Structure formats: C-alpha cells, structure tokens
A and B are shown apart, each in its own frame.
Chain A
Amino acid sequence: EVVLTQSPGTLSLSPGERASLSCRASQSVSSSHLAWYQQKPGQAPRLLIFDASSRATGIPDRFSGSGSGTDFTLTISRLEPEDFAVYYCQHYGSSSYTFGQGTKLEIK
C-alpha cells in the first residue's frame, strides 16, 4: 500500500501570496494517479486536481498540480480568502485508495 506524507502540516500565509503544498509517496505512483482535495470546516471534501495535474470542472486556474513518481505539489498561485482550508492528496490505486494526512492552510 502506498503511504502518502504531506508537508508542511500547517502553512501560514497571507492572501495574495503563493502556496506550495507537498505530497510524497512511499513508492512510485504509476501514471500519476494522484488527486488533491480541499476541505473547509463542516464541509465535504471537494475535488481540485486529478491525474496529478488536471483541474476538475469549475476549479479556478490559480490551482495547479505537478509532479510524478513519488513527489507531487499543489500550487495556489495567488491566495484568495476562500482558499484557507485543509488540503488532502490521494493515491487511487488498482484496488484501494490512500490519503495523505492533510495540510492546513491558515491565514497568517
């Protein structure tokens, strides 16, 4: 089973700044089967990125995903107030899914 480690645990930034969130896999993730989700307090997760770099429908272009193999990054180019939330990466394998432990993006 692939283990995903997200860093940092908490990221404190100001609106307008650039955010880079890391997700590292314990083994190479084939064909970039890596997704990113955003979760706000009291809400369900929302899909942002799939296949490592494809934006989901309706997701603003300030969100971008990159990486391959074992190292993946979610970048938010210019933070808006509504972007402060918890972000999870997910590996969708052939028979099971695993999530990272999450990165909390908070207002500095």
Chain B
Amino acid sequence: QVQLVESGGALVKPGGSLRLSCAASGFTFSDYYMSWIRQAPGKGLEWVSYISGISNTYTNYADSVKGRFTISRDNAKNSLYLQMNSLRSEDTAVYYCARDNCRGGRCFEDFWGQGTLVTVSS
C-alpha cells in the first residue's frame, strides 16, 4: 500500500535552515508528481510546492516561500525533499508530503503522509 513518511522536523531559530525528507513506498515513485503542503497550528491547509516526476523538470512554489524553499527528489531513493532557508516564525507548521494524482495537467493529492512539525522560534 502507499506509504509516505516525513522526517526532519525540528525547532529552529528564525533565519535558520532545515531539510525535510519524505520516504515513499508502495508505488512507482518516479511516475508521480509530489507536493509539500503545510498546516500552521490550529489553521487550515496551505500548498507549498510541487515537483514533477521522472524528469524533475517542473517545480512550483507558493509566493510565501518562493526564493527561500527548494523542492527536490531522488527517484533512485524514492525520496522527496524540501530545503527550507531563511525560516520565519510564520513557517511554523506541520509539513505534509503528498502524492499528486494528475489528470490533464491538473493534480490533486490522493495520498498524504502523517506530517512532520517545524517550529521556528528563538
């Protein structure tokens, strides 16, 4: 069955950096776009970034993280990453890794990991 397991969440100071990882199993990882979506404590969902599958050609970012976060993947390791730099207090959230189900160039998230908590605080 599809499994997504995030790791790397931690307490970090403002201005610091962190790298999140997501280990995927149960499906052909390289066939799928993947996304990161976050949820601040007690708040709703916010899409962060996505990356295309086998070619790694396409990435996109929410305006709130553009220039600070970088999404990447290693298809040989079935792993997704999110490098987060210049972290701010407003980046505090649970970060979910999700598999994208794409139809006609539009994608929704059909499987989600359990999330990893990132806390940005001095």
Contacts and interface: CB of A to CB of B under 8 A. Distances in A.
A79 interface: no
Contacts, number: 58
A47 B110 contact: yes
B77 interface: no
B66 to A, nearest CB: 11
- Which range holds the interface residue count of chain A? 20 to 34
B106 A92 contact: yes
A99 B101 contact: no
B47 A96 contact: yes
Contacts of B96: 44-45
Interface of A: 31, 33, 35, 37, 43-47, 50-51, 56, 88, 90, 92-102
Report, nearest first, the 8 A-B pairs whose CB atoms are least far apart.
Answer: A44-B112, A97-B47, A99-B45, A35-B108, A33-B106, A92-B108, A102-B44, A101-B44
